[in-house]
Amino acid sequence: MEIFDQLLLGFSVAISPINIVYLMLGSLIGMVVGIIPGFGPAAGLSILLPLTFGMDPTGAIIMLAAIYYGAMYGGTITSILLNTPGESAVVASTFDGYPLAQQGRAGPALVMQAAASFVGGTVGVILISVLAAVFAQVTRGFGPPEFFMLVLMGIVTLIVLIGDNWRFGAISALIGFALGTVGVDLETGMQRFTFGSAELIGGIAFIPIAIGLFGLGELFYAFYQGLHRGGSGGIIQYQSEKHFWPSMRDWIESRMAFVRGSILGFCIGVVPGAGATVASLMSYSIEKSSSKTPEKFGKGAMPGLVAPECANNAASAGSMVPLLTLGIPGSASTAVLLAALLMWGLKPGPLLMEQNPEFAWALVASMYLGNMALLAINIFAIPLFVTLLKVPYRVLAPAVILVCTMGTFSVHGSIIEVWLMFAAGGVGFFMKLYGFSPAATVLALVLGPLAEETLRQTLIISRGSPMIFVERGMSLGILIFTIGVIAFGYFMNRSRRLAKG
Amino acid sequence: MHLKNTIGKAVWACALVGAMAIPTLSPGLAKADSYPSERLNWTIAFGPGGGNDIMSRTIISILEKYKLYPGEIVAQNRPGGSGAVGWGFVHNQKGNPYHITSTSGSYITTPLKAKTPWSPTTFTPVALLAADDLVLLVNGKSKITSFDQFIKEAKAKPPAIGGMGAVNVDFIVPTLLAEKAGYKFEYVSFNKQGELTTALLSDALDAMVANPGEVAGLLESGDLRALAFSGKKAPESLKDIPTFGDKGYELGISMPRGVVLPPEAPKEAQEWWIATMKKVVEKPEWAAYVKKHELTETVLWGEDFRKFLAHSQEQFARVLKAKGAIK
């Protein structure tokens, strides 16, 4: 019962009044940071980092971590209400979240996302408390070959996202892969398609593209339909009295999505470099492929919102595992947290949890409390957020454009990214008009560079031999699992067709 | 009456602004003995929280604490394009001694990668304060236990060595070492520190190079093993291992953490800053910063710093051209 002793120690530190204040402050800041499109947790953390110089490290890490996972709660709100992802990990939540809102079910969607975030986050913390050491071993075994296998699994799930019109879907995915080739070629240092621009050396960032394709694309489409002339009402009909709580059917439909999303999200979060964005997109695809009614996905299916929401929150907890157990940052946000640990004079590494148990366990304990606090804040704030829907579209639309522009600009201070966002908005509009799949584009943009990098790293290490993928145990395991998933999906599909005659 | 008043005010305001602008427009005309007499603009070419930001803010806090700079200091982050934006801004302040910036590794690599109107040597050098050097590491379970053994094994079978980025000191250091020691190796470039470290932990790589601060915890726990250090003097936590120089492979390059003024800054400003930075590096806060981040204290002043930059850039350009990474 060592774990309980340690957790108890953690709670005893975390529950001190000042730490509770930091926790609430962090949660609130995280929510706000998440809501502003473009402005994600990594940017929010790095701006607030200098403020923690003089603070007690435990209080400071409790606050910073709360900003990190709080952003996962906040980010979904604009995904659901405006089809504009607040940050990269919640792009997948727009796929079904926004259609739900369009059907007048914004209230249930927001409640469900809060519940899903809570479940994902809490499952994540429970897994950290109980199995951190086991998952640290997983992280340790993850070299480029395993990473490539994981990405390959993601690319397989891309087929699911492509949908019925596979020609348009494939074109959408190829656009994403093409955008992913921009920037410095990692292995040789050669520049590809940068046209001599210093801003493009780092490649095309995910956030401006996602905000453009979804948020602005939707906005332009609304203009095209003439919604801005629609008088004083919002675009979405919504009665808060009737439709606030999710129905029993929503819960029953989504029960497996909670489980699958949380566990998958955590496992992907543990792998350094993959992170919450990959986790949420992959769990959406897997949810869709394992659903009995995949045709409902993208048209307002509750499990399609729950799965990625559980996944991104569980992944943000999962990425704490390499940080706490090995001192390795798994994502941009945990890299800032790592910088913070160094700044406060702690030595992140395998000995951190032994040498500073009260620090590490206070952080873990605070994550239980933080998730509860965020659930409460969310539920209370939902009626406030849905009033957004009552704002006339001609007022709302320019405000959204302004906020998206500022949010995108603030991340890297790059005007080129703002233009990219607007260009992606134009492309997103036509994609919507002609039935392309922007979801496939963003997933391809995330996975393409990862696949290229890890495959090339693997082949350099193995001197060109692909046998390395089956020689290493873990990579072989992921390969077998992927083949299993494909076979399963194929037979499911066939039997369904047979059943239909 | 109203209108007249407003115009009058406007004229006054213009005159005032104009008067204030004169010293800014002609900084060279300011009296030598009166430098510094204005607000200092400290440009940080990277976002908050990074290595460059932390160093700049540490120096600024020392300057403020000991009242070494008489006026106000305004620090501004101007990130973008691996430093191209921030240093480009300072480059445009030609001759103005009230702008200053701090350097880091990208200060050498960014002008090699992108067409910047400046090179590291065009700025007015003040001081090189510290260097980020690299440590050569293997997995803690590896059978290689010493640097000599590593070289011997490498000659028998070319190792795969990982590092961060292709146009980076992480590539240059193992390449120069292999050149000098006479072995071949495969360089595997990574984008994120986490992926690089786990690649070594998972035994996919044979060795890697990293900043000591980034792997301190893993070294302490024995998960990674340090073989040798690329700098002149190893930090305290690595004092048991040899430097490349000890083994006869002195490379003479590292990532410069220093301070520079805009190009063609007046001589007296350069001298004033050299004298002031000499005071800064003697303060306990500076020693604490160097220790905490496991930097190598490497101090060069003024024109010596410029020579160091020229030498480093030459080495970088030569190796990168040979690999075809730059033209």
- Helix, strand, coil percentages, rounded to 5, for chain B: 50, 20, 35
Q: Over the range A213-238, which residues count as b (16 or more CB within 10 Å of their CB) and which as e?
A: bbbbbbbbbbeeeebbeeeeebbbeb
Q: Please indicate whether, in this complex, the C-beta atoms of B199 and A139 are within 8 angstroms of each other.
A: no
Check pLDDT > 80 for residue B183.
Answer: yes
pLDDT tier at A160 (50, 70, 90 boundaries)? confident
- Residue B97 sits in the same domain as residue B179: no
- Residues 6 or more apart whose CB falls under 8 angstroms from that of B50 comprise A46, A339
Q: Please give the Cα distance from A258 to A343 (Å, whole number).
A: 37
Residue A188: other Cβ atoms inside 10 A: 16
Q: Quick check: helix, strand or coil at residue B16? A: helix
- Mean pLDDT (chain A) is 86
Q: Which residues, listed in sequence order, are joined to residue B125 by a DSSP beta bridge?
A: B260
Query: Residue A31: which of A371, A361, A329, A304 has the closest Cα?
Result: A371
Nearest residue in B to A457, CA atom? B188
SS (H, E, C) A403-428: HHHHHHHHHHCCHHHHHHHHHHHHHH
Q: Are A157 and A286 in contact (CB under 8 A)?
A: yes
Q: Which two tokens stand for residue A253?
A: 């439909």
What pLDDT does B205 receive?
A: 95
Check pLDDT > 90 for residue A366.
Answer: yes
- Residue A291 is given by DSSP the state -
- Residue B189 sits in the same domain as residue B270: no
Q: Please give the Cα distance from A381 to A376 (Å, whole number).
A: 8
Is residue B223 within 8 angstroms of chain A, CB to CB? yes
What pLDDT does A230 receive?
A: 65
* Length of chain A, in residues: 501
What is the Cβ-side half-sphere exposure of residue B49, based on CA atoms within 13 angstroms? 21
Q: Which residues of B touch A347 (CB under 8 A)?
A: 216-217, 220
**Chain B closest CA to A488's CA: distance in Å?**
30
Q: Which residues, listed in sequence order, are joined to residue B42 by a DSSP beta bridge?
A: B75, B100
Q: Quick check: helix, strand or coil at residue B256? A: strand
Q: Please indicate whether, in this complex, the C-beta atoms of B323 and A139 are within 8 angstroms of each other.
A: no
Q: Please give the Cα distance from B326 to A201 (Å, whole number).
A: 13
Q: Which residues of B touch A352 (CB under 8 A)?
A: 217
What pLDDT does A172 receive?
A: 92
Q: What is the mean pLDDT of residues A215-231?
A: 82
pLDDT tier at A412 (50, 70, 90 boundaries)? confident
DSSP A150-192: HHHHHHHHHHHHH-S-HHHHHHHHHHHHHHHT-EE-TTT--EE
Q: What is the mean pLDDT of residues A344-351?
A: 82
- Residue B123 sits in the same domain as residue B168: no
The larger pLDDT score, comparing residue A476 to residue A482, is at A476
**CA dist list (Å): B131 to A266, A347, B211, B230, B301:** 38, 20, 10, 11, 14
Nearest residue in A to B289, CA atom? A343
Q: Please indicate whether, in this complex, the C-beta atoms of A144 and B50 are within 8 angstroms of each other.
A: no
Q: What are phi and psi of B41, to 5 degrees?
A: -105, 110
**CA dist list (Å): A54 to A57, A66, A340, B266:** 9, 19, 12, 37
Q: Please indicate whether, in this complex, the C-beta atoms of A460 and B323 are within 8 angstroms of each other.
A: no
Q: Which domain holds residue B98?
A: 38-132+254-323
- pLDDT digit string (tens) for A192-204? 888 877 677 778 8
Q: What are phi and psi of B98, to 5 degrees?
A: -100, 15
Check pLDDT > 60 for residue A232.
Answer: no
Q: Which two tokens stand for residue B264?
A: 């063609």
Residue B1: other Cβ atoms inside 10 A: 5
End-to-end CA distance of chain B: 68
Query: Residue A441: which of A218, A82, A162, A205 has the closest Cα?
Result: A162
Please report which helix (H) or strand (E) contains residue A75, including its range. helix A57-82
- Residue B75 sits in the same domain as residue B212: no
- Residue B104 sits in the same domain as residue B179: no
Q: Which two tokens stand for residue B160?
A: 């795969």
- Residue B195 sits in the same domain as residue B212: yes
Q: What is the mean pLDDT of residues B75-85?
A: 79
Is residue B140 within 8 angstroms of chain A, CB to CB? no
Say how far residue B272 (Cα) sits from the centre of its chain.
22
What pLDDT does B4 receive?
A: 46
Residue A484: other Cβ atoms inside 10 A: 10
State the greatest distance between any 2 C-alpha atoms of chain B, in Å, as a whole number: 93
Structural domain count, chain B = 2
Q: Are B176 and B251 in contact (CB under 8 A)?
A: yes
β-pairing, A191-192 vs A183-184, is: antiparallel
| A-to-B residue pairs, Cβ atoms closer than 8 angstroms | 174
Q: What are phi and psi of B129, to 5 degrees?
A: -105, -40
Is residue B327 within 8 angstroms of chain A, CB to CB? no
Residue A107: other Cβ atoms inside 10 A: 24
Q: Are B136 and B227 in contact (CB under 8 A)?
A: yes
Q: What is the mean pLDDT of residues A253-263?
A: 92
Q: Please give the Cα distance from A276 to A314 (Å, whole number).
A: 8
- Residue B145 sits in the same domain as residue B217: yes
Q: Please indicate whether, in this complex, the C-beta atoms of A272 and B194 are within 8 angstroms of each other.
A: yes
- pLDDT digit string (tens) for A49-96? 777 777 888 999 999 999 988 988 888 998 998 888 877 888 899 999
Please report which helix (H) or strand (E) contains residue A149, including its range. helix A144-162
Q: Which residues, listed in sequence order, are joined to residue B77 by a DSSP beta bridge?
A: B44
Query: Residue A313: which of A251, A378, A361, A360 has the closest Cα?
Result: A378
Residue A50: cis peptide before it, omega within 30 degrees of 0:
no
What pLDDT does B49 receive?
A: 65
β-pairing, B73-77 vs B124-132, is: unpaired
Residue where one domain finishes, among candidates B238, B267, B299: B238
Check pLDDT > 90 for residue B234.
Answer: no
What pLDDT does A237 receive?
A: 60
Structural domain count, chain A = 1
Q: Which two tokens stand for residue B229?
A: 């250090």
What CATH number did the domain enclosing B170 receive?
3.40.190.10
Helix axes A393-412, A415-434, angle to 10 degrees: 130
- Residue B258 sits in the same domain as residue B308: yes
Q: Which two tokens stand for residue B124?
A: 């007015």
What pLDDT does A139 receive?
A: 85
- Residue A216 is given by DSSP the state I
**Chain A closest CA to B22's CA: distance in Å?**
30
pLDDT tier at A235 (50, 70, 90 boundaries)? low
Q: Which residues of B touch A197 (CB under 8 A)?
A: 81, 114
Residue where one domain finishes, among candidates B238, B265, B289: B238
pLDDT tier at A231 (50, 70, 90 boundaries)? low
- Residue B234 sits in the same domain as residue B145: yes
Q: Are A343 and B289 in contact (CB under 8 A)?
A: no
Pick from B53, B192, B224 the residue to mutate for testing the A interface (most A CBs within 10 Å): B192
Q: Please give the Cα distance from B213 to A491 (Å, whole number).
A: 52
With respect to residue B204, please indicate whether it lies within any of the assigned structural domains.
yes
**Which of B53, B167, B223 is opposite residue A189, by nearest beta carbon?**
B167
Q: Please give the Cα distance from A457 to A474 (Å, whole number).
A: 17
Q: Which residues, listed in sequence order, are joined to residue B74 by a DSSP beta bridge?
A: B41
Q: Which two tokens stand for residue B35?
A: 């430098």
With respect to residue B4, please indicate whether it lies within any of the assigned structural domains.
no
Q: Please give the Cα distance from A182 to A190 (Å, whole number).
A: 11
Q: Please give the Cα distance from A406 to A387 (Å, whole number).
A: 23
- pLDDT digit string (tens) for A105-139? 888 999 999 999 999 999 999 999 888 888 888 88
- Residue B145 sits in the same domain as residue B232: yes
pLDDT tier at B16 (50, 70, 90 boundaries)? very low
What pLDDT does B29 receive?
A: 43
The larger pLDDT score, comparing residue A160 to residue A212, is at A212
- Residue B140 sits in the same domain as residue B118: no
Q: Are B261 and B270 in contact (CB under 8 A)?
A: yes
Residue where one domain finishes, among candidates B214, B238, B262: B238
- Residue B81 is given by DSSP the state G
Q: Please indicate whether, in this complex, the C-beta atoms of B114 and A141 are within 8 angstroms of each other.
A: no
Q: Quick check: helix, strand or coil at residue B252? A: coil
Cα torsion A445, A448, A451, A454: sign: negative
Check pLDDT > 70 for residue B83.
Answer: yes
What CATH number did the domain enclosing B295 receive?
3.40.190.150
Q: Which domain holds residue A6?
A: 2-500
Q: Which two tokens stand for residue A191?
A: 């520049």
What pLDDT does B1 receive?
A: 40
The larger pLDDT score, comparing residue B50 to residue A373, is at A373
- Residue B128 sits in the same domain as residue B143: no
